[in-house]
Chains A and B, each alone.
Chain A
Amino acid sequence: MVHFTAEEKSSITSTWGKVNVEETGGEALGRLLVVYPWTQRFFDSFGNLSSASAILGNPKVKAHGKKVLTSLGDAVKNLDNLKGTFSKLSELHCDKLHVDPENFRLLGNVLIVVLAIHFGKEFTPEIQAAWQKLVAGVATALAHKYH
């Protein structure tokens, strides 16, 4: 189980406090679909994904990105119980959505790049390390109920 130090928790919550969940979610999901185009396989119903600008401007991508990142907010509030927090979502991603957990790792890393863009130098190596731990913990929690 992943364990966060007090300093790591503080880094995570203070960064999160400054994140625009709606914009950042859409940006992260959009970039996932641009940088790793094979991830588009899950989104046939989303309409126009034919170019980077189409993807980033796509309202369904933005809406879904917001949903995903809002869920990450639950992780931030429950750093000591990620597996419990994501138990139902884990079952959903396995049984209904059939998503390879590798995609959670890819999205986590794309989110970190987006945070680096927004926060620049303020996103220090130490703060990044705390966030890497968080996204890895969330990815593991989302994969935990797979069978």
Chain B
Amino acid sequence: MGGDYWLIANQRAELKLNSNTVTMSLTNTEKTIIVSIWAKIATHVDSIGVEALERLFASYPQTKTYFPHFDLHPDSAQLRSHGSKVANAIGDAVKNIDNIEKALAKLSELHAYILRVDPVNFKLLSHSFLVTIAAHYPAEFTAEAHAAWDKFLSIVSSVLTEKYR
């Protein structure tokens, strides 16, 4: 096991040529998987976003503390609008998968200086998205797709919390 580890680490180091940060980077295989699943999601982005938020609020009620100004009943206009916003931002990251930092730069500043959502919550929302995608696309959400999406959302989360301090 030890020998294999170093071989894989060297391969990954070569893939990080253009990265200036210390985030993990996606392989070409992972990017292909992410883009292809997104193509299916893109046909109903808004409802995926809303469902992810519903799952987040149901499983992790403490996340509602960031939305005291919202009507969080299922199918509320605010929930639909926010779900759409969040899902479309993820879509932007997918469309700019080779430079997520650039695509989400403004959102990164928003989260750091205005929203200041505690970093732990990005894992919770990421998990909620994974569950939503899994429920809608069981055949496509193979173990490799699961790994690719978990990694991708982890990278998105890192970008969004990059400027926190």
User: CB within 8 Å of B: which residues of A?
Assistant: 30-31, 34-35, 40, 44, 50, 52, 55-56, 109-110, 112-114, 116-121, 123, 125-126, 128-129, 132
Contacts and interface: CB of A to CB of B under 8 A. Distances in A.
B21 to A, nearest CB: 20
Given A125-B55, A128-B58, A129-B58, A117 B138 contact: yes
A50 B3 CA distance: 12
Nearest to B131: A116
A58 to B, nearest CB: 12
B27 interface: no
Contacts of B58: 125-126, 128-129
A113 to B, nearest CB: 5
A52 B142 CA distance: 9
Contacts of A31: 143, 146
Given A35-B150, A44-B1, A116-B131, A125 B54 contact: yes
B131 A112 contact: yes
B40 to A, nearest CB: 14
Contacts, number: 63
22 contacts: A30-B143, A31-B146, A35-B146, A35-B150, A40-B1, A44-B1, A52-B142, A52-B147, A110-B146, A113-B134, A113-B141, A116-B131, A116-B132, A116-B134, A116-B135, A118-B138, A121-B135, A125-B57, A128-B55, A128-B59, A129-B59, A132-B60
Contacts of B60: 132
A30 B144 CA distance: 11
Contacts of B14: none
Given A34-B143, A114-B134, A117-B135, 14 more contacts: A30-B143, A34-B144, A34-B147, A35-B150, A52-B147, A113-B146, A116-B138, A119-B135, A120-B138, A121-B135, A128-B58, A128-B59, A128-B131, A132-B60
